[in-house]
């Protein structure tokens, strides 16, 4: 079961330039501003900038589906033919992420917040 796509992560090469662009686009300042991740919240949407995204195989924005059981959902996607790109990883505060690629090369992100455990 998902709670929908609530997070989109963009791989960026110049995080300073991307941060300026998204600050203008969204009309808000980032809630997280670290060298490894910049995050914005706007209209219930979380928009992230990942300066290491290209190195992780991200070729464009990745939608992250919020799920209540990330390990179960990941296993189901792999059983259905998806290719693992990133195994379940804690990115801080108990927030878990993982990503896969479907047969058409589309990237699918999974995200589980600690409150969903």
Domain count, the chain: 1
Q: What is the pLDDT of residue 33?
A: 96
Task: For residue 93, give the nearest of 22, 19, 51, 39 by alpha carbon.
Answer: 39
HEC string of 10-38?
Answer: EECCCHHHHHHHHHHHHCCCCCEEECCEE
Domain, as residue range, for 46: 2-116
Q: What is the pLDDT of residue 100?
A: 94
Q: What is the pTM of this model?
A: 0.86
> One digit per residue, pLDDT tens: the chain, 117 residues?
688 899 999 999 999 999 999 999 999 999 999 999 999 999 889 999 999 999 988 889 999 999 999 999 999 999 999 999 999 999 888 999 999 999 988 999 999 999 855
Q: How many residues does the chain have?
A: 117
Give me the CATH number covering residue 94. 3.10.180.10
Alpha-carbon span 24 to 10, nearest angstrom: 16
Task: For residue 107, give the nearest of 47, 50, 56 by alpha carbon.
Answer: 56
DSSP alpha helix (H) spans, 80-116: none
């Amino acid at each position: 079961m998902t709670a929908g796509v609530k997070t989109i992560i963009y791989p960026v090469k110049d995080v300073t330039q991307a941060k300026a662009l998204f600050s203008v686009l969204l009309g808000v300042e980032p809630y997280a501003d670290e060298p490894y991740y910049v995050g914005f919240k706007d209209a219930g949407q979380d928009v992230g900038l990942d300066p290491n995204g290209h190195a992780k195989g991200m070729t464009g924005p990745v939608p992250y589906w919020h799920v209540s059981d990330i390990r179960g959902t990941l296993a189901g996607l792999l059983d259905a033919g998806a290719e693992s790109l990133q195994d379940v990883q804690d990115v801080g505060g108990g927030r878990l992420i993982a990503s896969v690629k479907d047969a058409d090369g589309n990237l699918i992100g999974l995200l589980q917040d600690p409150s969903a455990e």
